[in-house]
Each structure stands twice: as C-alpha cells, then as structure tokens.
Structure 1
Amino acid sequence: RAISWVMVGGLVAAIVGPQLVIWTRDTIPDAMFAGSFLSQAVLGLLALPVLFMLRAPKVRKDPNVVHDTGRPLGEILRSPRFMLSVAAGVCSYALMTFVMTAAPIAMVGHGHSVDHAALGIQWHVLAMFAPSFFTGRLITRFGKEKITALGLVLIAFSAIIALGGFDVGHFWGALIFLGIGWNFGFIGATAMVTDCHTPAERGKAQGANDFIMFGTVACASFFAGSLLHSSGWETINWLVFPIVALVLVPLILRLKPKEAAAEA
C-alpha cells in the first residue's frame, strides 16, 4: 500500500504536464515546443526545495548485533524468483514507455492535432496513477503475482485496441489501458521484489532491480522513435505480444503451485 500511495503523486503530473504543453508550445516564436521544455525545466527546479526539506530517518545499528551483509549480489540475481520479479517489472515499465513514447508522434502522424495527442497522454498518465488508490488493496486480497499478471494482460489488451484503427478513440483507449496495465504490473512486480531478499540484502537487491529496470526503460524510450519511423505504429504494438508472453507464461506457471498448495 505504501508503494501505491507514493504513486498517487503522479495524478498531479497527469493534469499539469500535458496542459503545460498545450499552453506553452507557441510561447517562443520560430521554436515550437521550446516553451514547453522550458516550463518543464522550471517545474523541476521548483521541486528542489521540497527535496532539500526531506529528512529521512537515520537507521540505528545495534552494536550488540553482528552485521549481516546477506547473500552475494550474484546469488540474489541468479534466484529464479528474483529474475521473474525483475522481468515482470522490466516488461511492464519498458513496454509502457516504448508505446507511450511513440503514441503522440503516431497520433500527429495520422492527422490528429497536438492537442489531441497531449490529451491522450493526459488520460494515459491519469490511468497510470489513479488506480494506486486501490492497487495495494487488490494486491493484499489477490496476491502480488495475480495483479502483476493482470497488468501484463491489460498491456497486451491495449495493443489490441491500438491495432484496431487510427481514430482518436483507438489511441486514447489504448493509452488508458496501457496506463492501468503499467500500474498493476509495475506495483505488483515491485512488491514481488521485496519478497526476494532479506532486510540486509535490501540495498543491493533493490539497486540491482532499479538499474536493470530503468536501464531497459531508457533503451526502450530511445528505440521507440526510430522503430516508429522505420516500421510504423502497428509494428510497435505487435512487438508487445511476444514480450508479454515471455514473462506472463512463467508467471502463470508460478501461480499454479501456489494455488494447489492453498487448496490442499
């Protein structure tokens, strides 16, 4: 639930971000969107005072307790459960970034306005963060793996909608389900990772997870534009299905022994 509540902050970004693009894209003559980038930079600077005021509690170490560093990082990385958890998070986040990055460009390329593209991203970001109010409860009730699997299914469903046509409704519908799928998949996978390490291993396990995840997300973001230019919007969405299947199948196979044990 703590992860979910942190994600709620993205609702503000969902409303402010796209509207800034609409309001400021023409503020600098002969340089469309330069004003949008400058306004985003100003927002980043405004966040600095808030970060400086953050006071994280210090961890007190008991001198009578022997310091435990846990397993070596290599052993943690080789754990099948850790690999599946990281793969689920990478799949959810990278696919979302991959499709989201290409979507507004594809919308404009298919004759829709910049305003329609910005509003599509607004609906998408709202869909990313609004479910956070109840995602934690769903995970508590149904389990981390099931909610993660549901997120991956919704990401695949978003690709089906996108492949259905090029109307504004197709783009917006795909982006909305993509956002919801990311929320379930990412939060569920992040919660799965927390079960894969001891408190002593938290730093290196979470660090490795973040490095792998966000490194892959950065690559997906860079790759999306070039693939959209060379192969088109349909190819972007067709690639979603095999990648989802690579993670969803082992995730479902992992669920079956758990369900059998619960019924026994």
Structure 2
Amino acid sequence: MTTTVYKNSTRRNVGLLAACQALLFTNNSTLIAINGLVGLSLAPYAALATLPVTCWVLGGAAATMPASFHMKRVGRQRGLTTGTFFGIVGALICAAAIWLQNFWLVCLGTFVWGTYNAYGQYYRFAAADIASPDFRATAISLVLAGGLVGGILGPTASRVTVGLVGPKFMGAYLVLILFALATMIILRFIRIPTPSAAERSSSGRPLREIAAQPRFIVAVLSAAIGYGVMNFLMTSTPIAMQVCGHPYGAAAFVISSHVVAMFAPSFVTGRLIRAIGVLPLMFVGAALNLVCIGIALAGVAVANFWWSLVLLGVGWNFLYIGATTLLTETYRPEERAKAQGLNDQSIFIVMAISSFTSGMTVTAAGWARVNLLALPLVAAIAATIVWYGWRSRARKAAAA
C-alpha cells in the first residue's frame, strides 16, 4: 500500500514538473523566435542583433550556481517559484523596452529572464530527487518530454501575439508573463520534501573531489559538449539553408522537425536506459551525431539538412538524458547543489560560446566547415564514453 502511494505521488509530481517544463520551453521558444528580430530592429548596429539572445544565455550561466544553492536552502518548490518570479520581471523589462524602443533595456530584460531559465533547468533534477533509482532515468526523460509541447506552442505563440498589443513584439513579451504565472500556480501543487537540516548544513566532499571522479567528468563533458554541438549546428542551419538558396519555409520545417526529434524520444529514453544501460545509450547518441555530420557533409539538399537535424535532435536527447542520469550517481544528497550547479553552469558556458560563434562561422567559412569543426568534438565524446565503459568493466572484472 505504501509503495503504491509513493509511486502515485512520484508520478504525479513528475507530471506536474513536465507541465512546468512545457511552459518553460514555450517561453524560451517564443523568446528565441522574437529576440533576434527585436535586436535587429532596435540595435544601434546590425552586428549587435543577436546580443539579446547572448544576454539570455549569459544570464542563465550567471544564475545557475546561485539557483542551485538557493534551492538547497529553501527546497525545490520555493526555489523554482522564485525562478518564475525572475521570468515575470524579465518579461516586464522587455515589454517596457519595446514601449520605450530601448535596445539596452531589452538586453537587461533577457539577462534577467536567463535567471528563470537557469532555475527551470532543475526541473529534471527535481524529478531525479524524488524518483527511486529504477525510475530515475524515466522520470528525467518524462520531464524533458514536456519540451515537445513547448517546441510546438512557442513558435505559434510568437506568431499570434507579436502584434497583439502596443508596439510590435510587446504583446509577445506580455504573454510570457501569463505562462510564467501559470508555472507558478502549478508549482504550488508539487510536493517535494525540503532538504533536511543535516543536508542544508553539510557541504559534503569538496567540489574538486566530486569533479575529479571519472563518472562525473564523462557526464559533464557529454552534456556540455553535446549541448554545445547541437546548438552550434542548429543555429547555423537556417543561415546555411538561406545561403544555399532554400526558401524560409523549408528552413522552418527543418528546425521544427529538429525540435520534435529533440524531445519526442523522451517518452522511451528512460526505458532504453533501463534496457541497455546508460553508457551504451550515450554512445548511440554520439554515434547519431557523427552520422548527422556525415549526412550534412554529403550534400546541401533540403533532405540532407532534414535528416542531419533530425538525427542531431535524437542524438542530443540520448546524450543529454543519459548524462543527466549518470550525473545523479556521482554525488550524495548534501552535495547535489554544487554538483548539479557545476554541471549546468558548464552547459550554459558552452552554449554561450556556440551561440556567439555559430553565425560568424557559417557566414565566414561555410556550412561544411561548421560540421568539420563539430566532428572532433563529437568524436571526443564518443571516445570518452568508450574509455569510461572499458575502465568500468575492467574494474568490475578485477573486483570479481
């Protein structure tokens, strides 16, 4: 009876966290869809058009570690609710910036919004915290599956609300507030135990010792580089397709298919981890990324772009969920704040670099060079996973 109640409570919480993830990704997709255009219309120089997007990523990078430690003190529910507050404030600043036609205020608003995104990255860890070991991978993957809803609703919301009220784009920013408020309401129904006094007061092992574990290194490198490569190729694709003479509709279809491929596998990724193991699935993810690069280098037809981006999305899913699951095996409860914080901060830093360099690389060097630059990074991930798998098997054999 107790086990059944626990399972039902866990699944209920995971479902609510997935809804929060869906709203977060809806907001982020809307923000990404309009920020470049807002930057282009307000920036003093065209070269600064993507600065609002970069500020969004930098805001997330700056807030990731403080957000993790804040939740260690006050618990997941209160901490995640605080994150939605930053989302509301950031959207209000952006809406005011549109009203005032102030580019730098837009950058400030997206930087503040980045704090909301930083807190939101912990939805998957909140699910891992409450799940039993055999359900943990599934819980993480189901929460991330919420991104599929966001990937569909976000672009639609941006199109419908762009001229809803006031100057162009102001309505889109105001709708972000409604989604953040909805998230705040959902979070009130989530029941996640607050950290114990012992967990709050104890810091556990030094971060250097935690980060020196081979398993931790594999998890962080796979998540950060996998995310960076995905972002690098994804953000370059629309520009590359335009240069190759493909219509905007084709590029939009390729990107939307990519987003579906990123999150749709989440419904089965957890089961695959239980069936074949986390390291084999991560290797499959890296292998799919290698195939993606091969297809991209083979030609510039729409079909090449489509297959490449779909495989990139599935590969990212396997790598990201696998790496997150692997990371949860590297720390004790009192150490989760700094371990999770370092992991996500690493991801944000790599994302910032890939976002900043992707556009310049594809315009200056071409689509083929973009993929050739990604190739050794993906190969390094695959080699690291193989090395750690071999090392783990050797240790188990020696212990036996």
Q: What's the TM-score once normalised by structure 2's chain length?
A: 0.59
Cα pair distance change 1:60/1:165, threshold 3 Å: closer
Aligned 1:21-170 pairs, distance under 5 A: 23=159, 41-53=173-185, 54-55=187-188, 56=190, 57-59=192-194, 61=196, 67-170=201-304
Which runs of no fewer than 5 residues in structure 1 stay unpaired? 29-33
CA–CA separation in structure 2 for the residues paired with 1:143 and 1:40 = 42
| Shift of residue 43, structure 1, vs aligned partner | 4.7
Task: Identify the structure with bigger relative contact order (alpha carbons < 8 Å, sequence gap 6+).
Answer: 1
CA–CA separation in structure 2 for the residues paired with 1:66 and 1:223 = 40
Cα pair distance change 1:8/1:262, threshold 3 Å: farther
Cα pair distance change 1:115/1:174, threshold 3 Å: same
Cα pair distance change 1:185/1:66, threshold 3 Å: closer
Cα pair distance change 1:242/1:173, threshold 3 Å: same
Aligned 1:4-19 pairs, distance under 5 A: 4-19=141-156
CA–CA separation in structure 2 for the residues paired with 1:237 and 1:19 = 30
Aligned 1:110-259 pairs, distance under 5 A: 110-259=244-393
Cα pair distance change 1:242/1:49, threshold 3 Å: same
Query: Do the aligned residues in 2 keep the contact of 1:102 with 1:225 (CA within 8 Å)?
Result: yes
1:31 maps to what in 2? none
Query: Do the aligned residues in 2 keep the contact of 1:144 with 1:188 (CA within 8 Å)?
Result: yes
Aligned length: 256
**More deviation, 130-139/74-83:** 74-83
Query: Do the aligned residues in 2 keep the contact of 1:92 with 1:151 (CA within 8 Å)?
Result: no
CA–CA separation in structure 1 for the residues paired with 2:324 and 2:284 = 14
**More deviation, 222-231/70-79:** 70-79
| Shift of residue 130, structure 1, vs aligned partner | 0.3
Percent identity, please.
39
Query: Do the aligned residues in 2 keep the contact of 1:19 with 1:118 (CA within 8 Å)?
Result: no
| Shift of residue 80, structure 1, vs aligned partner | 2.4
Cα pair distance change 1:66/1:106, threshold 3 Å: closer
Which runs of no fewer than 5 residues in structure 2 stay unpaired? 1-137
Cα pair distance change 1:172/1:255, threshold 3 Å: same
CA RMSD of aligned residues (A): 2.7
Query: Do the aligned residues in 2 keep the contact of 1:88 with 1:186 (CA within 8 Å)?
Result: yes
